[in-house]
A and B are shown apart, each in its own frame.
Chain A
Amino acid sequence: MSAVTNINGREVAIPDEELEMNLLEWLREVRDLTGAKNGCGIGVCGACTVLVDGKAVRTCRQKVAFIAGKSVVTIEGVSPPEGPLHPLQQAFIDYGAIQCGFCTPGMVMAGLALLARTPHPTRPEIRKALAANLCRCTGYQQIVDAIEAAAGEQKSDT
């Protein structure tokens, strides 16, 4: 009986021989989900972050077995290919939070995990939530702006 996981809303069976693979490598090479990036391979840059049961997880430090029976959202699953962007994604664009973009998928996932648990974070809370994610381009300022703005929008929605 092979393991099952849910990736971006779809059930995926994991063949036994893949359970021991590195999760980041599996997502990128086997599932072709290349949005998660390899920036360090040792769990310190956050470029490989995805959500597992709603929590931000650094996939380069996990085996595939870790997601068995769990639900995974990668950057590819944050908004539909044809549909509108998620408000947080739109805020990243509008606030100039994207330069080279290599950290962006991980930053968006970290931001989503934060907003799920703290819908209206303060700026220091946002900074703390990004502490596992490195960005060399932006100095983080506009990433914090974007998350703060998206949180503000959430407020007006509810």
Chain B
Amino acid sequence: MSCDEKRSNPHAFRNDAAAKVTGRAKYADDLKAHGMVHVVPVYSDEVHAELVSLDVSGAEKMPGVVKVITADDVRRIGGQPTWSYLIPDYRMIVGAGDHIRCNSDVIALVAAETRAQALEAAKRVTSVTKPLPVVLDAEEALKNPPVFLYEDRVFEGKKNNVVNHYKVRHGRGKEALSECDFILEHTFRTQHHEHAYIEPESALCTLRPDGVMEVMGSMQHPFSTRRFVAAILGCPLADVEVRSIPMGGGFGGKDDTAAIVCARAALAARLTHRPAKLTYAREWSMRESYKRHPYILHYKMGVKDGRFYAAEVEIIADAGAYCSATPWVTFRSTAQCCGPYPVPHVHCDVYGVYTNNVFTGAFRGFGSPQVNFAIEELADMAAEKLGISPVEFRRRNMVRQGSITVTGQALSSHEVTLEKAMDAVLAAANIEEKMKKCSHGVPAEGSDELYGVGLAISSRGMSLGGEGADFNSAIINVNFDGSILLEVAVHENGQGAESAFMLIAAKELGCDVKRIRYRMASTSNIPDGGTTVASRGTLMGGGATVIAARNLKEKMASVLCKKLCCAPGEVTFHDDRIWGKDGAVSMSWQEAGDAFYWSKDYPYAFGVFQGGHVSWDEETGQGDAYFTWVYGCQAVELTVNRKTGKVKVLGMTAAHEIGRAINPPMLLGQIYGGMVQGLGYGLQEEMKNEGGRMKTLNFNSYRLFRAADLPEMQAFFLESGDPNSPSGAKGIGEPALELMAPAVANAIASATGERFFQIPVTPERILARFKARAAEAEAKEHGVGKSEPEGT
């Protein structure tokens, strides 16, 4: 199935599209409440310091100020200013006596009649601080720490900056390296990567007369938001109701930070007894929101008989000042430390490490883009050394049906379709022919453009895996007039989750999708379904929807069978009606609703989907890391100008296994969007930081790709179903992002003949390499020794 028939109308289905295309959709900052106060955060200029004291008296006297809020206010109402879900270390407001641990920390909030007044007053908050040593390099923070971010923290029996440590001990581990024909030893580095959702964080909170704090915010995890809000207010979860409203993009980035923005607004509402709105300026969002973890990846990859045979891996993930989702993110890096290759002997250590950088957390891809960058470059390097094509190397080495992963998991629960995905890309973009035309550093006569193509493949465990309890729920409520309300405990992030669930429910119930209305979700309506991360939305929410629909059909059959003159097991649901045995009699959904009414019963069902079996041994890193997997391949074609280092992207192609396609145009949209985010990750996006102070705070300095810079893309999906997924669908959000950066690095290498071990591969880095080579060549002419420029 391809995107190629773009001339024919694909008729994408989306329940929220009309509202969004007319400007009627209300995002958080589009909402107002009577008497609301405007809240703004107050930052400190420090990177690491003791906050000795705080003076808010000047700010309090400013016109329009309703309240200046500090951590003391949180404690006074019995709340916790410091909280998070894995390690409770996040300072929602840093209090006097505590430490500022990064330049993104907030030390007070100002609530005023207008935003302008709040902003003016915020400038009058002053503080006394005592600077502490700063550590910004994760490797230094791990191995040679000049300072401990958390003085009292002890991990693995000693004081250190370690957030978490995962291991893989597989086969004979690093011992087997000595048996290899050759070893590729390289260090790879990745950057702070910003989610760059176009809508900055925003929240409107109201303390309702019934005592419930109602939260409407731009966040991607209502239940996580509820926990942050309840923590800061010191109240039970039942006293907070988070309602879902349209959100302007998340990509994993609107979990903690967005939840914390909601919590701060709720705090202001609680303390001022007025509705409170807190809307982030882009600069605050970029300064404060968590990023993708920068990684330092040390690989020793041994090749024997043309195969990856043994690996010794050390990965250091910069968690920044707070833990956030670091253990979950690095879990994936651990379980997938050799990418899609079933390396038989692996010794791997992965560390999450505290530094004084901005914190890092969930970001679409979740610990795989960094690893894939390294592994897929290593695959190309191995191919080159073996004198075979990158395609041939991958064919020999990739996971296949029944392969044993580096965690000892047999890939047998589903169809392993990696080769099919790769073949789809090769065929669609004629990659193997194009590989023959690559410049390898030598441009065509009279041209400065170096031509290259590159590809990358991946296998990806779906959903949370061995680190989380994976379950979800859905509610289907048929009204007595036959209209249907559906609600799933997965949040709509803009990817079309609600529409997908409606289509899944309609298919399972054999009814017209128009009969179904998606209910505005609220944390008070449905049990906690976990976060919309790890591409688990369609898999877990869709699974729960199918199960709720099956439960509903069973219930309806038992009540309606008499009227349909058959046994309950003979009732069927199709063509928007409910049928008796062999289609002899049928009734409309409205008649069914009516029949339920007179039976004094409800056509109502709750469905729970529990993710499949997973297991994990902390000591050996062995177990069934994920209950099912997906496979994908992406390729890119580009030129590099040898005078300017500028890269021009000529084409991008992707093929992904997704189980089953629910809403094909939206699925393709996920792939296109993911490819472009991956391209930005590989080529140009980087949060720049000077001494711990972020310098790229808006889209003029943090550059995203624009339509005019991009080529046309091709996307394909493969459907082989999956017995582990009730709906057959798996997911696409993250696989779509995890491949383009390594494909780009490989393409640049095939164009320039130079390997880059650090992303983004910017024109500056490319030029620097060209210059270093030229200098080297010159030195050689003069008889001076050669140096290997690495890591530039």
Q: Which residues of A contact B (CB under 8 A)?
A: 28, 33-42, 44-45, 47, 74-76, 78-79, 85, 89, 92-105, 108, 123-124, 126-128, 130-131, 133-145, 148-149, 152
Whether A142 contacts B668 in the complex (CB less than 8 A), given A99-B495, A99-B496, A136-B197, comes out as yes
Q: Who on chain A is nearest to B30 by CB? A: A34
Name the one of A101, A134, A152 contacting B699, with C-beta atoms under 8 angstroms.
A134
Is there a chain A Cβ closer than 8 Å to B669's Cβ? yes
Q: Who on chain A is nearest to B676 by CB? A: A139
Is there a chain A Cβ closer than 8 Å to B666's Cβ? yes
Whether A92 contacts B708 in the complex (CB less than 8 A), given A102-B27, A136-B673, A141-B713, comes out as no
Q: Who on chain A is nearest to B281 by CB? A: A41
Q: Who on chain A is nearest to B706 by CB? A: A131
Interface 0/1 of B103-123, CB less than 8 Å to A: 000000000000000000000
Is there a chain A Cβ closer than 8 Å to B248's Cβ? yes
B352 to chain A, nearest CB (A): 26
- State A93–B19 Cα separation when bound (angstroms): 10
| B:1-59 near A, CB below 8 Å | 3, 6-7, 9-12, 14, 16-27, 29-30
Q: Who on chain B is nearest to A39 by CB? A: B198
Q: Which residues of B contact A (CB under 8 A)?
A: 3, 6-7, 9-12, 14, 16-27, 29-30, 195-200, 246-251, 281-282, 493-496, 665-666, 668-669, 672-677, 698-700, 704, 706-708, 710, 712-713
A37 to chain B, nearest CB (A): 7
Does B712 contact A100, Cβ atoms closer than 8 Å? no
- State A47–B198 Cα separation when bound (angstroms): 8
Whether A34 contacts B198 in the complex (CB less than 8 A), given A93-B18, A96-B10, comes out as no
Subset of 30 A-B contacts with CB under 8 Å: A34-B26, A35-B23, A37-B29, A39-B248, A41-B282, A42-B698, A44-B700, A85-B21, A96-B12, A96-B666, A96-B668, A98-B14, A98-B21, A100-B248, A101-B21, A108-B21, A124-B708, A131-B706, A134-B198, A134-B704, A136-B195, A136-B251, A136-B677, A137-B249, A137-B495, A137-B673, A139-B672, A139-B713, A141-B669, A142-B665
Does A137 contact B199, Cβ atoms closer than 8 Å? no
Residues from chain B with Cβ under 8 Å of A104 in the complex: 20-21
- State A78–B24 Cα separation when bound (angstroms): 12
Does A95 contact B9, Cβ atoms closer than 8 Å? yes
Does B707 contact A96, Cβ atoms closer than 8 Å? no
Q: Who on chain B is nearest to A100 by CB? A: B494
B738 to chain A, nearest CB (A): 15
- State A37–B17 Cα separation when bound (angstroms): 17
- State A102–B20 Cα separation when bound (angstroms): 8
Name the one of B7, B246, B281, B675 contacting A101, with C-beta atoms under 8 angstroms.
B246
Does A100 contact B249, Cβ atoms closer than 8 Å? yes
Number of A-B contacts defined by CB within 8 Å: 192
Does A134 contact B706, Cβ atoms closer than 8 Å? yes
Does B21 contact A92, Cβ atoms closer than 8 Å? yes
Residues from chain A with Cβ under 8 Å of B496 in the complex: 99
Residues from chain A with Cβ under 8 Å of B251 in the complex: 136
Does A98 contact B710, Cβ atoms closer than 8 Å? no
Does B668 contact A93, Cβ atoms closer than 8 Å? no
Q: Which of B199, B700, B704 has the most CB of A within 10 A?
A: B199
Known pairs A37-B198, A96-B14, A127-B707; list 16 more (Cβ under 8 Å): A37-B27, A37-B29, A39-B199, A44-B699, A45-B198, A75-B22, A93-B18, A95-B6, A96-B665, A96-B666, A98-B14, A99-B669, A101-B25, A102-B248, A130-B707, A137-B495
- State A125–B29 Cα separation when bound (angstroms): 33
- State A95–B24 Cα separation when bound (angstroms): 20
A152 to chain B, nearest CB (A): 8
B337 to chain A, nearest CB (A): 29
Residues from chain B with Cβ under 8 Å of A124 in the complex: 708
A99 to chain B, nearest CB (A): 5
The 4 A-B pairs with the shortest beta carbon distances in the complex, nearest first, are A35-B23, A100-B494, A102-B248, A101-B20
A101 to chain B, nearest CB (A): 3
A55 to chain B, nearest CB (A): 18
Does B198 contact A138, Cβ atoms closer than 8 Å? no
Name the one of B22, B198, B713 contacting A85, with C-beta atoms under 8 angstroms.
B22
- State A78–B23 Cα separation when bound (angstroms): 10
Q: Who on chain B is nearest to A141 by CB? A: B672
Residues from chain A with Cβ under 8 Å of B22 in the complex: 35, 75-76, 78-79, 85, 89
Does A142 contact B710, Cβ atoms closer than 8 Å? no
Q: Who on chain B is nearest to A35 by CB? A: B23
Q: Who on chain A is nearest to B16 by CB? A: A101
Q: Who on chain B is nearest to A140 by CB? A: B707
- State A85–B198 Cα separation when bound (angstroms): 25
Name the one of B9, B19, B494, B698 contacting A94, with C-beta atoms under 8 angstroms.
B9
Name the one of A34, A38, A96, A152 contacting B669, with C-beta atoms under 8 angstroms.
A96
Residues from chain A with Cβ under 8 Å of B666 in the complex: 96, 99
Does A75 contact B29, Cβ atoms closer than 8 Å? no
A141 to chain B, nearest CB (A): 4
- State A108–B25 Cα separation when bound (angstroms): 14
Q: Who on chain B is nearest to A153 by CB? A: B9
Residues from chain A with Cβ under 8 Å of B197 in the complex: 100, 102, 136
Residues from chain B with Cβ under 8 Å of A99 in the complex: 249, 494-496, 666, 669, 673
Q: Who on chain A is nearest to B495 by CB? A: A99
